[in-house]
Amino acid sequence: MRFPKRPLKITFISSFFLLLIFGLSSHLRAPESAKKQANLATTEKANKYIFDREAAALYRSQQQQLQLALQDYFRKAVSSGQLVGAGVSIVKGDSIVIAEGYGKKDIKSGDGVNGHTIFRLGSLSKGFAGILAADLIKQGKLSREAKVRDYIPDFQLGDRRNTDKITLTNLLSHTAGAPYHSYTNLVEAGLPLQDIASRFVQVKPISKPGELYSYQNALFALSELMISKASGKQMSEYLLERFFKPLEMCSTFMDHKSLQSSENIALPHTRRRSGWRTNNLNDHYYNAIAAGGISANAMDMGRWMRFLLGHRPDIMDKNALAIAFRPNVEIPGRSKYYQRWSGHESSYYGFGWRIHHFRDKASESQKTIWHHGGSVNNYRNEIALYPQDDLGICVLLNSNSRLSSTVIPDLYKIVQEIYRKTAVNMAANNTQESEPSI
């Protein structure tokens, strides 16, 4: 049976027109949809621009207020004779907000300090050693419980049974059991660490390993020998390759010659009746870099603090950094200067770092400070990081000033007040702008 051809033709033509109409309608709707997407993208871009502009304005306002407040604070300290010069760095989040200098780097010449003026760090160096040890532990090249005797066969403190219990953790947290500052005089005399290690056989322990906090320089410095053996490199070489170069800490030195040849250096000063006297640089602690042999400026310390706060995970992640900031032993007593800081509750020692817990009066919450002080060759320095606030403060002084005992809480208060005030003002301005006009 044959079907007529005409109906097929009609059906084909009808289908063609339906497809044509559908296509035209889709084509007509497409520009409208694209227009909506374009408008949405433009709105998002505009909002981001407004946000970025407001954030930049807020940053500049806070930075300017901090600069003025710090200028006033250190101008008063210098004019009252409390100090000679200071290199100051403040880090907030991923930004080095302040890296400035105040006062004089040499009272004779009258040359001023700036953010690139180099200071000796003293025991702030211990924090570098602690982070380096944490890095090796994270890599599996070293253990927290590594026996000192396995790395330094000539070392002995007490009898053999006692010596075999002393670990890397004991060295880095001042809990090996030796009397306070044992053989610091030998470090300052420039003896090689290997020779100092062999002399501990003559020291009588005051406690079992891990039981008592007793601050050390010589014992802490022996960690340098363990780090070198575990890494296969001298500690100075390893620090340079692992941290200083990638962090662009170009003015951080670990030897006496480099410091002497630097053009922009803050010379040490001691107090005299009529004011301050300039002193010569000595060569103490370059045989014990881990304990006190590093020098740096405010800018480099800003880069270091930004890294410690976790803003350079490409170099070392927060989990690895946390190894150094783990409390190992409580620091007893209430008489130390940092134990008198407002809100202080307790203090501990990690790997080259003091860990303080304090009660913040403004927020009524408990907070943590990673802190250390340093003193060498009449330089006096302080570093403190507030992880909950994503804040770091470092102050380098070229005089053994009493201001060092309060400068950290002083600057913390200044920073908190400025950031709190500007945040409130910004919120108030945004609220006013968002209200409809009547």
Average pLDDT on 88-101 reads 97
Can you tell me the distance from the alpha carbon of 285 to that of 291, in angstroms, rounded to the nearest whole number? Answer: 7
Can you tell me the distance from the alpha carbon of 133 to that of 352, in angstroms, rounded to the nearest whole number? Answer: 10
* Model confidence band, residue 364 (pLDDT cutoffs 50, 70, 90): confident
Place of tokens 């880090």: 91
From the number of C-beta atoms within 10 Å of its C-beta (0-12, 13-18, 19+), residue 354 rates as buried
Does pLDDT of 219 surpass 80?
Answer: yes
Q: How many CA within 13 A on the CB side of residue 226?
A: 34
Does pLDDT of 94 surpass 80?
Answer: yes
Does pLDDT of 432 surpass 90?
Answer: no
Q: What is the pLDDT of residue 195?
A: 98
Q: What is the largest CA-CA distance in the chain?
A: 129
The three-class DSSP label of residue 266 is coil
Average pLDDT on 334-358 reads 97
Can you tell me the distance from the alpha carbon of 213 to that of 329, in angstroms, rounded to the nearest whole number? Answer: 7
In the structure encoding, which two tokens stand for residue 29, read together? Answer: 């709707």
Could you tell me if 115 and 364 are in contact, meaning their C-beta atoms sit under 8 angstroms apart? no
Average pLDDT on 385-392 reads 98
Higher pLDDT pick, 127 / 360: 127
**Measured distance between the N- and C-terminal CA atoms of the chain, rounded to whole angstroms:** 83
Q: What is the pLDDT of residue 35?
A: 61
Task: Give the H or E element holding residue 376.
Answer: strand 365-376
% of the chain with per-residue pLDDT over 70: 85
Average pLDDT on 384-397 reads 98
% of the chain with per-residue pLDDT over 90: 80
Higher pLDDT pick, 239 / 18: 239
Q: What is the pLDDT of residue 363?
A: 83
Higher pLDDT pick, 258 / 433: 258
Could you tell me if 126 and 372 are in contact, meaning their C-beta atoms sit under 8 angstroms apart? yes
Report the candidate in 215, 195, 374, 188 with the shortest Cα–Cα distance to residue 295.
374
Q: What is the pLDDT of residue 430?
A: 53
* Model confidence band, residue 117 (pLDDT cutoffs 50, 70, 90): very high
Report the candidate in 263, 256, 282, 248 with the shortest Cα–Cα distance to residue 118.
263
Can you tell me the distance from the alpha carbon of 101 to that of 95, in angstroms, rounded to the nearest whole number? Answer: 18
Can you tell me the distance from the alpha carbon of 349 to that of 342, in angstroms, rounded to the nearest whole number? Answer: 19
Average pLDDT on 330-344 reads 96
Beta 275-278 vs 95-103: how paired, if at all? Answer: unpaired
* Weakest-pLDDT range from 6-15, 62-71, 93-102, 140-149: 6-15
Q: What is the pLDDT of residue 52?
A: 80
Can you tell me the distance from the alpha carbon of 373 to that of 126, in angstroms, rounded to the nearest whole number? Answer: 10
Could you tell me if 157 and 201 are in contact, meaning their C-beta atoms sit under 8 angstroms apart? yes
Average pLDDT on 384-413 reads 97
Average pLDDT on 184-210 reads 98
Query: Within 339-436, where are the H helices?
Result: 407-434
Amino acid at 190: G
Q: What is the pLDDT of residue 239?
A: 98
Q: What is the pLDDT of residues 405-431, one digit of tens each?
A: 999 999 999 999 999 887 666 555 554
Can you tell me the distance from the alpha carbon of 153 to that of 150, in angstroms, rounded to the nearest whole number? Answer: 6
* Weakest-pLDDT range from 279-288, 394-403, 414-423: 414-423
Average pLDDT on 264-273 reads 95
* Weakest-pLDDT range from 5-19, 120-134, 162-176: 5-19
Can you tell me the distance from the alpha carbon of 293 to that of 125, in angstroms, rounded to the nearest whole number? Answer: 6
Q: What is the pLDDT of residue 36?
A: 62
Place of tokens 């005030």: 421
Q: What is the pLDDT of residue 436?
A: 39
Report the candidate in 102, 69, 100, 70 with the shortest Cα–Cα distance to residue 84.
102
State the CB neighbour count (10 A cutoff) for residue 425.
Answer: 12
Higher pLDDT pick, 139 / 361: 139
Q: What is the pLDDT of residues 291-329, one digit of tens each?
A: 999 999 999 999 999 999 999 999 999 999 999 999 999
Q: What is the pLDDT of residues 11-36, one digit of tens each?
A: 444 444 444 444 444 444 555 666 66
Q: What is the pLDDT of residue 9?
A: 41
Q: What is the pLDDT of residues 32-63, one digit of tens each?
A: 666 666 566 555 655 555 558 888 888 999 99
Please spell the DSSP secondary structure of 384-410, one letter per residue: EEEGGGTEEEEEEESB--GGGGTHHHH
Residue 288 gets the label, from left (phi > 0), alpha (psi -120 to 50) or beta, of: beta
State pTM to two decimals: 0.86
